């Protein structure tokens, strides 16, 4: 097994689940290897599920950011979903033999592809409008790109470049206590639900639905 490949029990290969993670947690860490070595940039991405075998990521960066000069190189984008500490006190087996330790459950997808730079003004504006519409959709008074003065918008558009990453493969890991006995898994889900916050509640559902 490749050193970067998740253990089989935790490996997530369902493309729809991976796409769902990206759409729910669109801020990806774009990792590139430029002139000064490894660099990470955090970028909100759109996902085009239907473009290419594994989908395509669409984003933008400031023109002053040299990351876009790594065009044509393979890049890695890391998307992190729900995650939480898991206490050994939640395991039923603690009462049986006590041989338990803490761990951390999490959902993560590593997306690999080749970076392409897009400087077309219409493409960038369309991308900005879609991105804004999506993230403003829950607002009672959603802001739109057209709300800003056109001269200002044009200056902003000239200050960024678009990036497109046609995805070639994923390494995804849903670490959700699949390696524990069912009674321990039930305890983990219950312990997470008692925490009450969004990440813990989401992860509790993943623990309950994951299969060994």
Give the Cα separation of 156 and 65 in Å (integer): 14
For residue 34, pLDDT over 90 is answered with no
Q: Report domain 8-81+104-178's class.
A: mainly beta
What's the whole-number mean pLDDT along residues 164-189? 95
- Mean pLDDT within 66-74: 85
Report the pLDDT averaged over residues 198-203.
Answer: 94
- Whether the pLDDT of residue 26 is over 50: the answer is yes
Of 32, 39, 28, 181, the closest CA to residue 100 belongs to: 181
Q: Which helix (H) or strand (E) element contains residue 106? A: strand 103-118
Once rounded to an integer, what is the mean pLDDT over residues 173-199? 94
């Amino acid at each position: 097994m490749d050193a970067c490949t998740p253990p089989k029990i935790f490996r997530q290969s369902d493309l729809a689940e991976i796409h769902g993670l990206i759409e729910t947690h669109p801020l990806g860490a774009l990792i590139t290897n430029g002139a000064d070595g490894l660099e990470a940039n955090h970028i909100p991405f759109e996902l085009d599920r239907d473009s290419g075998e594994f989908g395509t990521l669409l984003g933008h960066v400031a023109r002053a950011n040299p990351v876009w000069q790594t065009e044509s190189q393979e890049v890695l984008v890391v998307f992190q979903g729900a995650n939480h500490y898991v206490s050994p006190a939640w395991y039923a087996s603690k009462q049986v033999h006590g041989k338990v330790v803490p761990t951390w459950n999490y959902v993560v997808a590593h997306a690999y592809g080749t970076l392409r730079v897009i400087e077309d003004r219409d493409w960038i504006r369309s991308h900005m409008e879609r991105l804004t519409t999506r993230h403003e959709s829950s607002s009672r008074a959603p802001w739109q790109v057209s709300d800003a003065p056109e001269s200002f918008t044009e200056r902003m558009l000239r200050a960024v470049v678009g990036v497109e990453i046609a995805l070639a493969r994923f390494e995804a890991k849903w670490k959700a206590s699949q390696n524990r006995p069912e009674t321990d898994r039930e305890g983990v889900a219950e312990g997470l639900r008692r925490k009450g916050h969004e990440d813990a509640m989401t992860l509790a559902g993943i623990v309950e639905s994951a299969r060994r």
